[in-house]
Structure 1
Amino acid sequence: MAAGPATQEDTRTRLLATALRLFTEHGVEGTSLQMIADALGVTKAAVYYHFKTKDEIVEAVAEPGLRELGQVIDEASRLRRRGARIDHLLTGFVDTVVRHRALVALFSSDPGIARALARTWTSPEENFSVRILGILVGEESDLNRMVAAHVAVAGIALAGGSPQFAGVDDDTLREQLLDVGRRLLGRPRRVS
């Protein structure tokens, strides 16, 4: 009896969750397809049914977070006022970081993920770093604004993915990251 589409999707979802866990434990380059298969309790052929290479798995693991970040950037870039663009981008970036903590930790600590993704995510539209900094810095790119934007983006990502804050609930972490980001970017604090 063949597995139905729901079972195949469940297996694919479990495979990606397992791969992310193993990537965070062993690094992308230190994780083999056999390790993923063993952790799932399936054959390596079953992994190959869903993905032909480890790079395809890395891309699939990263895709939800990258897609979400791309949407935030697109939405922010369509806003007319500079302050609105910055606020939307900052809030969306923090939300994405908090929602995808394990993936962000992997991006922050494992160069293997960047190498795997560089093979497919190479167009300027997909260069999120350039696009994010372009929105945050704007046309008036003085050194102070550029440094503040870099520190805000890198700091939010590093803190959001830090194992030190793994026990902090999402709402608290989100609030803290937004507060720091607003201060670094010279944005007014939001009053609840």
Structure 2
Amino acid sequence: MTSENTRTRLLAAARHLFALQSFAGTSLQMIADRLGVTKAAVYHHFKTRDEILEAVLEPALDEMRALIADAEAQRGFTARADRMLTGFVELTVRHRDLILLLANDPGVGNALRSSEDVADLLARPADLLARDRLDPADRVRASVALAGIATSAGSVLLTDVDDETLRATLIDTGRRILGLRRRPAH
């Protein structure tokens, strides 16, 4: 078995255990046991649980970075906000399991807040969605839109809703909250 294959399996096992037992409730030994390898094999790839969490989240964080850059490149507030909104919905629907982990596991939130880069990354979408960053009402609307999207995408109450319906409804609802013009249906 290749080292890359072991790393991929290790991240999948960690992701599963984080969702099942929580981030704080998962040890490196539990991850090793799930894979049937030694703890030393886990240490070969990662020294800490925090490193594993970062690796589990990295693809989604990379997508968020690209989305923010794309939204910032748009001309005018409406285009920037609409790109941020639709991209954020796409990202959260695609990573529903990670959103559930982020929303429901305080240990994950604490670990992420300790990373200045990640904390800044998670704050930037609200800036792109607030028409006037100094207006408390605009900031509240941006926060409600983002939190509502993330909470809904990760909600165990909505697991029966297909991705396309969830995506369309979240975009429409986000536009209403933010006061963005709705695009006509094609």
TM-score > 0.5 by shorter chain: yes
Match for residue 47 of structure 2 among 49, 52, 65: 52
Whether 1:81 and 2:96 are equivalent positions in the alignment is no
CA distance in structure 1 between the partners assigned to 2:39 and 2:54 by the alignment: 19
CA–CA separation in structure 2 for the residues paired with 1:130 and 1:54: 24
Moved more, 134-143 or 179-188: 134-143
Shift of 1:140: 5.8
Amino acid of the structure 1 residue aligned with 2:138: R
Q: Distance in 2 between matches of 1:150 and 1:102?
A: 21
What is the CA distance between 1:105 and its match in structure 2?
0.8
User: What SS does the corresponding residue of 1:42 show, helix, strand or coil?
Assistant: coil
1:70 aligns with 2:87: no
Cross-structure match for 1:30:
25
CA shift, 1:38, in A, is 1.2
SS in 1 for 2:160: coil
| Match 1:151 to one of 118, 128, 144 | 144
Moved over 4 A (4+): none
How much does 1:80 deviate?
A: 1.6
Unaligned runs of 5+ in 2: none
- Given candidates 127, 132, 156, the residue that maps to 1:139 is 132
Contact 2:132 2:138 in 1 (8 A): no
> TM-score normalised to the size of structure 1?
0.89
Query: Which digits, 9 at most, give the CA deviation of each residue in 1:104-154, with x for residues without a partner?
Result: 1111111211222334x304x861343111111133643332221111000
Match of 1:107 in 2: 102
Aligned-partner residue type, residue 115 of structure 1: N
- Tell me how far apart the structure 2 counterparts of residues 156 and 130 of structure 1 sit (CA, whole Å): 15
**Is the aligned partner of 1:189 residue 2:182?**
yes
- Cα separation, 2, equivalents of 1:18 and 1:165: 25
- Contact 1:65–1:96, Cα closer than 8 Å, also in 2: yes
Structure 1 window deviating more from structure 2 (96-105 vs 162-171): it is 162-171
Q: Tell me the alpha carbon deviations over residues 32-72 of structure 1, each in whole angstroms, 9 at most, x when there is no partner.
A: 11111111122211111111111100110111111111111
Per-residue CA deviation, residues 71-94 of structure 1 (Å, 9 max, x unaligned), is: 111111121211100010001101
| Percent of residue pairs identical | 51
- Counterpart of 2:123 in structure 1: which amino acid? V
Q: Indicate conservation of the 8 Å contact 1:86/1:135, yes or no.
A: yes
Quick check: 1:20–1:102 contact (8 Å CA) kept in 2?
no
Give distance in 1, aligned partners of 2:44 and 2:133. 50
State the one-letter code of the partner of 1:152.
Answer: A
State whether structure 2 residue 7 is matched by structure 1 residue 8: no
Residue 24 of structure 1: how far off its partner (Å) = 1.1
Alignment-derived partner of residue 162 in structure 1? 155
**Pairs aligned (count):** 185
Task: Give the Cα–Cα distance (whole angstroms) in 2 for the partners of residues 157 and 78 of structure 1.
Answer: 24
Please give the alpha-carbon distance, in whole angstroms, between the structure 1 residues aligned to 2:113 and 2:181: 36
- 5+ residue gaps, structure 1, are none
Residue matched to 1:122: 116
